[in-house]
């Protein structure tokens, strides 16, 4: 066992033990604790849990790779702007009102605001979005185990499944929340330490955000030497319309993600829900303002290391990652095909998902730091996976079993169904992690598009337009989700890779699907039966601070 594998194992055992202990100490015996942690999580802790829940394997593992490799600098900003901008929408348009409405799940809100048909459509949409999203998380778990513990992807995913099963099934939302607070602490420390160390080593400035500016000219020069577009140049890889579409899909998708929205039901009050969003933005910003620096530092060093080298003289990190198939020739062949010939950066293909995981090795940092980064990646992937699996579980147990099949079910029966549903979801998630439809961040970006096209319109209209009808909401969700999902299947490389309409990428089609959803929902609502006057009055009340008469009656089942 190498030093890196040893330290990875040590950190994995320590962090997994902490997660399991927290879950055991936070175990629940009622549905309120299982679904929304009893609605008693303080705003700072809730913000950290939201950040961990949302900053998934895509953020930790892939974001720097997207910015540095896939989108060559400037264009990668769509992910930074989209994923963070969505929280502004959440804080302003959704979080406080949904918390005041007071339900367990997003489909629960849809069902009460509209009707049971709309609830069923929302359940299906939540499950589709969550499974697409969780595929990226489990793929990230497999990637870390493959590289750092020398086990195959299947074994790595199974280990991750077992850990998530234990603390998610035992503690429900309460256990998941406090576990995610710990996971956020692990992932942010693991991300910042190597970033600070590399910045200090390369530029003499320990703040990566400042050091980044000092190497930008050199990086642009190397890009030109290799015949590549300027790293900081605008619209070199993505057109302006597509940048707008992708940014909007990620932004509105963030505001419509079921596993993020449910977090605001765990806050102590409406005020705490709003502050939870602000704390989440702060915690997320710590990583998101660092990611572009990590991308630039790592890419600069890669280009220097691979400038006219040979396999015999290649740095250790190159051989290590090529051995697990994440570095190939430009044509996709094994790097051994390069033979004894000298090669450069453009002669090889480096997987986006290795940039952060490989950055400590590329920067020459010691083995304990490499092991810590691996533990951080696992924390990021597992925290989001648990939140997504709880969405699937609660949708099945609360919105299908309890609300439709057995309304007389006891607390213990609901918990049992929820735990069984979560166990089944974990098995499906494991399969998707072993057979993902793309690299980690690409898969996750698709989930955001699906959330934007299905949930965001009917949530906003459900809060701010009291005459939105059940038929309009159900039809809008079906049309928006179906068209977006079909377009993704049509244009993804794994399914044929069509250029699509007007060259719109699958990561940007969610914006079009969202606009279609808005149009269909509004159009159908004009010609279908309006909500009851009591519901219209309730919708109006949740928008005004201090008005709680109808809300209290609604939560008591009287409205």
Question: Token match 């549905």: residue?
Answer: 31
Report the DSSP beta bridge partners of residue 348.
Answer: 329
Predicted local confidence at residue 547, as pLDDT: 60
Which residue blocks in 63-115 are alpha helix, DSSP H? 63-65, 77-89, 95-101, 106-113
Which residue blocks in 226-354 are alpha helix, DSSP H? 240-254, 258-261, 270-288, 291-305, 316-323
Closest CA to 258 of 161, 138, 395: 395
Predicted local confidence at residue 550, as pLDDT: 67
- DSSP character for 308? S
175-198: per-residue pLDDT in tens?
A: 788 888 888 898 898 889 888 888
pTM: 0.81
- DSSP character for 397? I
The CA distance from 52 to 65, in Å, is: 19
Predicted local confidence at residue 553, as pLDDT: 64
Q: What is the CATH number of domain 3-289+350-441?
A: 1.20.1730.10
Closest CA to 379 of 79, 161, 179: 179
85-97: per-residue pLDDT in tens?
A: 888 888 788 888 8
Predicted local confidence at residue 482, as pLDDT: 93
Tell me the DSSP string of 453-517: HHTHHHHHHHHH-TT--HHHHHHHHHHHHHHHHHHHHHHSGGGT----GGG--TTTHHHHHHHHH
The CA distance from 306 to 225, in Å, is: 13
- DSSP character for 264? G
* The pair of three-digit structure tokens given for residue 273, joined into one six-digit string: 């829900």
* φ/ψ (deg, to 5) at 327: -130, 125
Residues of the chain with pLDDT under 70: 1, 29, 35-38, 58, 70-72, 103-104, 167-168, 170-171, 436-445, 493-497, 545-559
Predicted local confidence at residue 97, as pLDDT: 85
Q: Which helix (H) or strand (E) holds 348?
A: strand 348-350
Q: What are the residue boundaries of the structural domains of the chain, listed by start?
A: 3-289+350-441
């Amino acid at each position: 066992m190498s030093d890196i594998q040893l330290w990875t194992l040590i950190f994995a055992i320590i962090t997994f033990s902490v997660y399991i202990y927290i879950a055991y100490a936070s175990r629940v015996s009622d549905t309120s604790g299982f679904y929304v942690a009893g609605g008693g999580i303080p705003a700072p802790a809730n913000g950290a849990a939201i950040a961990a829940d949302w900053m998934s394997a895509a953020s930790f593992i892939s974001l720097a790779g997207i910015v540095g490799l896939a989108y060559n600098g400037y264009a990668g900003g769509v992910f930074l702007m989209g994923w963070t901008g969505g929280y502004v929408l959440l804080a302003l348009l959704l979080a406080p009102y949904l918390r005041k409405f007071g339900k367990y799940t997003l489909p629960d809100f849809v069902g009460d605001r509209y009707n049971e048909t709309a609830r069923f459509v929302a359940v299906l949409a939540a499950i589709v979005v969550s499974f697409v999203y969780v595929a990226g998380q489990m793929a990230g778990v497999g990637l870390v185990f493959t590289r750092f513990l020398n086990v195959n992807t299947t074994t790595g995913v199974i280990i991750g499944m077992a850990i998530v099963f234990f603390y998610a099934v035992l503690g429900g939302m309460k256990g998941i929340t406090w576990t995610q607070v710990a996971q956020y602490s692990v992932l942010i420390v693991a991300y910042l330490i190597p970033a600070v160390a590399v910045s200090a080593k390369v530029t003499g400035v320990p703040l990566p955000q400042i050091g980044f500016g000092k190497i930008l000219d050199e990086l642009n020069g190397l890009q030109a030497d290799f015949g590549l577009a300027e790293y900081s140049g605008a619209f070199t890889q993505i057109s302006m319309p597509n940048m707008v579409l992708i940014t909007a899909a990620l932004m509105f998708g963030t505001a419509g993600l079921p596993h993020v929205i449910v977090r605001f039901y765990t806050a102590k009050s409406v005020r705490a829900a709003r502050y939870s969003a602000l704390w989440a933005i702060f915690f997320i910003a710590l990583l998101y303002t660092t990611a572009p620096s990590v991308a630039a530092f790592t890419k600069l060093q890669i280009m220097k290391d691979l400038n006219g080298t040979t396999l015999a003289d290649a740095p250790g990190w190159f051989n290590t990652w090529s051995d697990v198939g994440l570095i190939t020739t430009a044509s996709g062949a094994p790097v051994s095909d390069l033979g004894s010939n000298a090669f450069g950066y453009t002669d090889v293909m480096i997987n986006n998902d290795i940039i952060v995981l490989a950055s400590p090795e590329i920067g020459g940092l010691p083995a304990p730091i490499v092991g810590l980064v691996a533990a951080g990646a696992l924390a990021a992937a597992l925290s989001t996976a648990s939140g997504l699996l709880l969405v699937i579980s609660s949708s099945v147990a609360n919105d299908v079993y309890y609300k439709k099949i057995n309304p007389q079910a006891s607390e213990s029966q609901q918990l049992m169904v929820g735990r069984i549903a979560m166990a089944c979801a974990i098995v499906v998630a494991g399969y998707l992690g072993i057979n993902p439809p793309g690299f980690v961040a690409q898969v996750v970006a698709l989930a955001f598009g699906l959330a934007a096209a299905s949930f965001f319109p009917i949530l906003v209209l459900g809060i701010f337009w009291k005459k939105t009808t059940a038929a309009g909401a159900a039809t809008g969700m079906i049309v928006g989700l179906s068209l977006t999902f079909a377009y993704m299947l049509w244009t993804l490389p794994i399914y044929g890779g069509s250029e699509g309409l007007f060259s719109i990428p699958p990561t940007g089609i969610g914006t079009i699907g969202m606009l279609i959803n808005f149009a269909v929902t509004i159009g159908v609502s004009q010609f279908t039966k309006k909500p009851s006057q009591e519901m219209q009055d309730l919708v109006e009340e949740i928008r005004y601070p201090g008005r709680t008469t109808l809300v209290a009656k609604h939560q008591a089942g009287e409205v």
